[in-house]
Structure 1
Amino acid sequence: MSVALPARTSRRQFLALLGISAAAVSCGTATATGGSRSRGSQVTTLKYQGWVGQVTLPELAADLGFLGNLTLDWVGNTISGPQDIQSAATGQIHFGGAFNGAVVKLAASKAPIKAVLSYYGVDESVYSGYYVLEDSPVRSARDLIGKKVGMNTLGAHSQALLEIYLKRNGLSKADAAKVEALVVPPVNTEQVLRQKQIEVGVLGGVLRDKALAAGGIRPLFSDFDLLGKFSAGTYVMTQRFIEENPDTVRTFTTGVAKAIEWSRTTPREQVIARMTEIVKKRGRNEDTSTLQYWRSYGVAETGGRIEDKEFQLWIDWLTERGELKDGRLKASDLYTNEFNDYGKG
C-alpha cells in the first residue's frame, strides 16, 4: 500500500511560522502553564514532546534517576525540531530541541530563547545519510536536479546539509532551486523511497540502519561526509523560564548531561535494553524493534556542553542565504553552559 505524502511546506511558510512564534512569545508568558511547583515557586514538572519509538535523553535521564525531584510530563509527539522549539518559545512546553540552524532562525526572529545543552550530533556511526535505490540513476549532485528529496522537516538540519552538498558540488543557485525538498515522516521515509515516490530519502539513526539491513539502497552522501564530527542540535528554554527557575534548569541540564555520559560508558546492549524497557513501560503501543540499531546520541562535547562553532556554522549559512543580516547575531549570545555542572572546570 502506498503512503500518501504530506502537503509540502514551503520555505516561505516555514519562515512565516517562525514569525508567528516570535509574535506569540513577545506578547505571551514564555513559560508553559500547569507545571507543579516546589522549591518556593520553581517549576518541577516539565512539559515536553517526544518522538515515536525513540527514547530522548531527558526520558533516559528521568528513568536513571538523574533528574532529582523533577518529573517529565509528556504532552504528545513531534517529528519536527523547529516545531518543537517553537512550542517551547510560545510556552506550550518547557523545553524543546532542534537543529542549531533552526535555533538561530528562531533567535533571529526575536524569540527570547537560550540553548542550554547539546543533545544530538554526528560522528562515524551516528549520522544522517541521503539514500537512493540501488539501481537509481542518481549518482551526483547534478543528477538531483528535478528530483524529490524526502526529509522530516524543511528549514532544518536535513535541508541545510542538502544545500551545502549542492553548493560544494558546483550547482548554481538556480539549479539548486530545482531540487525539491519535501516533508516525509521519518518512519515512512524508507517505504516512500522504495515505492519510488521520492528519489532520495534522508535516513538517520536506527531508521537508517534498519533500512540498510533490508538492502536495496545505497548512500549518495552523509552529513558526516560533509562536516565531520559535530554536535548538531540543542535543547532550548525561554530566558524568562531560566531566570525564574534556575535550580530546575540546573538539575535538568546536569541530569541530561549525566545521561549522555552514561550512554557513552555503558555497554551498548545494556543501553538498548534500558531504552526498550522505557518504551514498553510508557504504554503507547510503539514498535521497539528499531531500538536494536541504536549506537549513540552522537554528542561531540563532554556532557553536551556547547561551543561557539556549533552555532557559527549556521549563522554563516543563513547569512549567505540572505536570511540573516551579517553581524546581527553573535554565537555566544545564543547559549549558556552556566547550568550544566557536568565537567565544569
Structure 2
Amino acid sequence: MTTTASTRRQFLTLLGLSAVAVGCGATATGVAGKGQTRTLRYQGWAGQVTLPELAADLGYLEDVKLEWVGNTISGPQDIQSAATGQTDFGGAFNGAVVKLAANNAPIKAVISYYGSDKHAYSGYYVLEDSPIRSARDLAGKKVGMNTLGAHAEAMLGIYLQRGGLSKAEIDKVEPLVVPPVNTEQSLRQKQIDVAVLGGILRDKALETGGIRPLFTDFELLGAFSAGTFVMTDRFLKQNPDTARTFVTGVGRAIEWSRSTPHEEVIARMTAIVKKRGRNEDTAPLKYWRSYGVAETAGRINGKELQLWIDWLGERGDIRKGQVTLGDLYTNEFNKAGSGGAASVSPSSAASKSGS
C-alpha cells in the first residue's frame, strides 16, 4: 500500500517532470504570427457537465469552440496536460496548482471553477456500523479518493493534523486511488475503510443509506473556492482574446447556474450529456446542487491560493518565497460579474436556458 509520505514524493517528482516538459515543448495552438486560436482542447469528467461545457452550450463562449480529447479523474493530471501543451486549459485543486507553479511551470490560474458550500462538498464516509469515529481511529485504515496529491488528500491531512496526530501517525493512514464511480461500491464491499464522495455520487450514496460522514471539507474550512482553471503564460500571451472569451464565458456560466431554477439547470445538463454521445448515465445528474464557487463569477481573490502556499510551506513541500502569489493568478481575462456587458442578468440567463 502507498503511504502519504511516498505519494507526496511521487507527486512532486511528477510535477518536476511536467515542468521540464513545459520548458522543452510547445503548444499546438496559438503559434505567434498565425492568429489566435478559437478552439480549446480540454479533458472532461464522465457523467458530469463541466463549467466550460455548460458555458459553450449556453452560447457564452461565442465563436470559441471546445475540443474534447478525453476524460480524466485527476486534477493534477489535468493541469499537467495543460502545462505541457497537450490541452489548452486544465483545472485542479489550488494546492496542486501551487505545487505545479513551484516546480517552474509557467502557468496562471485564471478563474475558480469548484469549491465547497452547504450543497457542494466532499464528505469522508464510513459504513454506518464502522468503529471509526475520530481521526485517531484512522491509523492503518484505507481512504479511497479520486487521485493523490490533490484536494481529497490535503483535506484528509488537515483533519488528521487537527485531530492531534503526529507525522508518524499520519503516515500510517493509507490514501488509495479509487475511480469515483467505484468508490461507494468499494466502501460497501469493505475494500476501503473510508470513501471520499462528492457531488452527485455523494448524494446518490446517501440516498441508498448505510453510510455516515466522518467529516466534510465544508466542516473543516467553511465555504471556499477550492480549485482553479489554469492556462500557460505562452497561451495567454498569444491568445488573449480567446482567453478572455473563455474565462468570461465560464464566469457567466457560474452565475447562470446560481440564478436559474435548480430543475432547469438539471434539465440543461441532462440534455448536454445526452447530445454529446459518450455513452454516459444521466440519472445521477438529478443529485447536482452547486458548483460551490465562493466568489462572484469565479473571480480569484488570492486567499484561496495563499492558504495552500502557507500550508505547503509549513509542511516543507515548497520553500518560503518559492511561489509568489501575484505571479500565480490573474483576473485580467474575467469580465463577468463586473457590471459590464459581460455580466449575466437573471432575465438573459432564463431566456438562454430555454434555447
- Into which bin does the TM-score normalised by the smaller protein fall? over 0.9
Residue 4 (structure 2) pairs with residue 10 (structure 1)? no
Task: Give the corresponding residue for 2:40.
Answer: 46
TM-score, with length taken from structure 1: 0.95
Report the secondary structure of 1:75's partner residue. strand
Give runs of aligned pairs for residues 330-341 of structure 1, distance below 5 A. 330-341=324-335
Residue 27 (structure 2) pairs with residue 27 (structure 1)? no
Report the secondary structure of 1:13's partner residue. helix
Report the secondary structure of 2:310's partner residue. helix
Instruction: Give me the identity figure in percent.
Output: 74
Task: Give the corresponding residue for 2:83.
Answer: 89
User: Is the 2:123–2:217 Cα contact (8 Å) retained in structure 1?
Assistant: yes
**Number of residue equivalences:** 338
User: Is the 2:252–2:337 Cα contact (8 Å) retained in structure 1?
Assistant: no
Q: Distance in 2 between matches of 1:129 and 1:153?
A: 15
Q: Note the C-alpha offset of 1:328.
A: 2.0
Task: Give the corresponding residue for 1:168.
Answer: 162
Give runs of aligned pairs for residues 1-345 of structure 1, distance below 5 A. 10-29=7-26, 31=27, 33=28, 41-344=35-338
Report the secondary structure of 1:139's partner residue. coil
Q: Distance in 2 between matches of 1:160 and 1:13?
A: 15
Q: Distance in 2 between matches of 1:61 and 1:240?
A: 24
Q: Which amino acid aligns with 2:217?
A: D
Q: Distance in 2 between matches of 1:324 and 1:344?
A: 34
Q: Distance in 1 between matches of 2:98 and 2:213?
A: 29
Q: Distance in 2 between matches of 1:296 and 1:162?
A: 22
Q: Which amino acid aligns with 1:278?
A: I
User: What stretches of structure 2 of length at least 5 have no aligned partner?
Assistant: 340-355
Moved more, 39-48 or 293-302: 39-48
User: What stretches of structure 1 of length at least 5 have no aligned partner?
Assistant: none
Q: CA deviation digits over 1:72-117, x for unaligned, max 9?
A: 0000000000000000000000000000000000000000000000
Q: Distance in 2 between matches of 1:13 and 1:290?
A: 33
Q: Distance in 1 between matches of 2:47 and 2:336?
A: 28
Task: Give the corresponding residue for 2:348.
Answer: none
Q: What RMSD, in angstroms, separates the aligned Cα atoms of the two structures?
A: 1.9
Q: Note the C-alpha offset of 1:34.
A: 5.6
Q: Note the C-alpha offset of 1:40.
A: 6.2
Q: Which amino acid aligns with 1:265?
A: S
The ranges of structure 1 where at least 4 consecutive aligned residues each deviate by more than 6 angstroms after the TM superposition are: none
Q: Which amino acid aligns with 2:50?
A: T
User: Is the 2:199–2:288 Cα contact (8 Å) retained in structure 1?
Assistant: yes
Moved more, 9-18 or 180-189: 9-18
Report the secondary structure of 1:42's partner residue. coil
Q: Distance in 2 between matches of 1:343 and 1:14?
A: 36
Q: Note the C-alpha offset of 1:326.
A: 1.4
Q: Note the C-alpha offset of 1:344.
A: 2.9
Q: CA deviation digits over 1:137-163, x for unaligned, max 9?
A: 000000000000000010100000000
Q: Distance in 2 between matches of 1:134 and 1:181?
A: 20
Q: Distance in 1 between matches of 2:18 and 2:34?
A: 30
Report the secondary structure of 1:324's partner residue. coil
Q: CA deviation digits over 1:247-276, x for unaligned, max 9?
A: 000000001100000000000000000000
Q: Distance in 1 between matches of 2:145 and 2:333?
A: 33
